[in-house]
């Protein structure tokens, strides 16, 4: 059905405006009754979403125009707070609005009202689904304890950086960092103290690197940092800042591309070797800068 861009505001828009609080209450109750949702489900800021839906019913939004911007803004905020329940709760919204409007729409407006309503809520669900997918992608690449990237994201980003380097010759550095004495902290002070140490190191690294650098936790006590375009001298300066900021001791080693090899494995291996040599010298009381290939 073609939507008339010059059509006057539909009666449904006025009804939703006048009864926003009642529709929001109906929505809450349906969410609590829905067997697909937890019994304590409570859609966040329901009045804002209902008001945005009323606004969408006032203005035609043909399919080719994309999602209604006001509904999209409201659903973005709603999905941020509703999380994985967002789509199920929007199903309940559609039912709540349908029940509220049923039998109250003038006959000449029924077809267009239901078409606009269906389109607006379908678009809202698509927006919620897209946000949920993005959030899952982010969570799949994140270390939950420290909030930095995980091993999967490190390996993907390292491969991407190698590809960029082969095309443009920009070069980059890899730092591998181990927290010193984490096992001892776990054994003597408990795992909560060990977790706190890991979070403290992650914060120290994030606070010290450049905006273009990325931090990852790639093992129990092991972190990695990708530094695009960084020279060996820049790496030394950055890690010196980390050591100054961090209250938790650590050992580190670095490699640079292409000097330390053309593959991810060769770069990580070179950084690991330097880390172990640095740690050994530190234990011998001879803390000296570890040379990094230039």
pTM for this entry: 0.62
- Catalogue the active-site residues: 221
pLDDT (tens digit, 0 to 9) for every residue of the chain, 294 residues total?
444 445 567 899 999 999 999 999 999 999 999 998 998 889 998 999 999 999 888 876 554 455 667 888 888 888 888 888 899 999 999 999 999 999 999 999 999 889 888 888 888 888 888 888 887 777 788 999 999 999 999 999 999 999 988 888 889 999 999 999 999 999 999 999 999 999 999 999 999 999 999 999 999 999 999 999 999 899 999 999 999 999 999 999 999 998 998 999 999 999 999 999 998 887 776 554 455 554
CA–CA separation, 227 and 214 (whole Å):
7
Q: Where are the domains of the chain?
A: 11-140, 151-283
Angle at 113 between CA 93 and CA 55, to 5 degrees: 65
Reported as type and span, the H/E element at residue 210 is none
Quick count: other Cβ atoms within 10 Å of Cβ 207? 11
Strand partners, 172: 228, 257
Compute, in degrees rounded to 10, the torsion defined by CA atoms 56, 57, 63, 68. 0
Q: Is 255 helix (H, G, I), strand (E, B) or coil?
A: strand
Out of 3.30.70.270, 3.30.70.1450, 1.10.3720.10, 3.40.50.1980, select the CATH number for domain 151-283: 3.30.70.270
| Cβ atoms of residues 134 and 218 within 8 Å | no
């Amino acid at each position: 059905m073609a939507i008339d861009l010059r059509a006057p505001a539909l009666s449904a828009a006025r009804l939703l405006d006048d009864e926003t609080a009642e529709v929001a209450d109906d929505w809450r109750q349906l969410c609590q009754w829905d067997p697909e949702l937890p019994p304590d489900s409570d859609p966040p800021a329901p009045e804002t979403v209902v008001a945005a839906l009323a606004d969408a019913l006032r203005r035609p939004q043909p399919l080719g125009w994309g999602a209604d911007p006001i509904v999209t803004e409201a659903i973005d905020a709603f999905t941020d707070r509703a999380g994985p329940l967002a789509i199920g709760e929007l199903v309940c919204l559609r039912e709540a609005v349908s029940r509220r409007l049923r039998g109250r729409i003038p006959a000449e407006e029924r077809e267009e009202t239901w078409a606009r309503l269906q389109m607006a809520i379908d678009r809202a669900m698509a927006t919620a689904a897209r946000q949920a997918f993005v959030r899952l992608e982010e969570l799949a690449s994140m270390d939950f304890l420290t909030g930095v990237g995980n091993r999967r994201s490190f390996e993907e980003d390292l491969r991407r950086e190698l590809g960029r380097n082969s095309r443009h010759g920009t070069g980059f550095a890899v730092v591998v960092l181990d927290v010193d004495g984490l096992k001892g902290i776990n054994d003597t002070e408990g795992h909560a103290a060990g977790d706190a140490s890991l979070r403290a190191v992650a914060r120290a690294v994030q606070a010290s690197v450049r905006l273009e650098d990325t931090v990852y936790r790639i093992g129990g006590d092991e972190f990695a940092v990708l530094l695009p375009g960084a020279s060996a001298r820049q790496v030394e300066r950055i890690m010196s800042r980390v050591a100054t900021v961090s209250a938790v001791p650590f050992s580190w080693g670095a490699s640079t591309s292409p000097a330390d090899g053309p593959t991810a494995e060769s770069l990580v291996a070179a950084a690991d070797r330097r880390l172990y040599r640095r740690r050994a010298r530190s234990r011998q009381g001879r803390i000296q800068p570890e040379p990094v290939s230039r």
